[in-house]
Amino acid sequence: QKEVEQNSGPLSVPEGAIASLNCTYSDRVSQSFFWYRQYSGKSPELIMSIYSNGDKEDGRFTAQLNKASQYVSLLIRDSQPSDSATYLCAVRNRDDKIIFGKGTRLHILP
C-alpha cells in the first residue's frame, strides 16, 4: 500500500460546480497534511495545510481532515477554468518526511 493515495483522474467538473478531491494515507501517526496545485510544466504551489480534524476554509477552498478514517479532502467551490490543474496531496509521516501522492488531474469544463 502506498503511503499517500489519490485517484489520478482526470476529474471533470462543470464550471461553477464544486470539485471534490480525495486522498488517503497509511501512517496513522501523520499529523500534517497539505494540498498543492501544479499547473502543467510548472512547480507545485501550496494551497492549504491542515493539522486538526474537521474543516479548514480559505476562500473557495476547504480542506477536510478525518484522522480516524485516514482521509483528507479538498473542496473547490465555484470551480473556474483556471482551477484546471493537478492537485497533489502531501502528508508528513512518522519519519518527519513529507510524502506526496501521485496527484489528481482536475479539468473544469467551461
Partner 1 sequence: EADIYQTPRYLVIGTGKKITLECSQTMGHDKMYWYQQDPGMELHLIHYSYGVNSTEKGDLSSESTVSRIRTEHFPLTLESARPSHTSQYLCASSDPPTGQILQETQYFGPGTRLLVL
Q: How far apart are CA 6 and CA 70, in angstroms?
A: 13
Location of C-alpha cell 474537521: 54
Residue 44 is a binding residue for partner 1 (CB under 8 A): yes
Residue 71 is a binding residue for partner 1 (CB under 8 A): no
Q: Counting Cβ atoms within 10 Å, is residue 84 exposed (0-12), middle (13-18) or buried (19+)? A: buried
Residue 56 is a binding residue for partner 1 (CB under 8 A): no
* The CA-based dihedral angle spanning residues 11, 4, 72, 21, taken in that order and rounded to the nearest 10 degrees: -10
Q: Which is nearer to partner 1, 58 or 78 (CB)?
A: 58
Residue 46 is a binding residue for partner 1 (CB under 8 A): yes
Residue 101 is a binding residue for partner 1 (CB under 8 A): yes
Residue 92 is a binding residue for partner 1 (CB under 8 A): yes
Query: 17: which 3 cell numbers?
Result: 460546480
From the list 11-19, 54-62, 69-77, 94-102, the region that binds partner 1 by CB under 8 A is 94-102
Least Cβ distance, residue 16 to partner 1 (angstroms): 27
Binding site for partner 1 (CB under 8 A): 31-32, 34, 40-46, 49, 51, 88, 90, 92, 97-98, 100-103
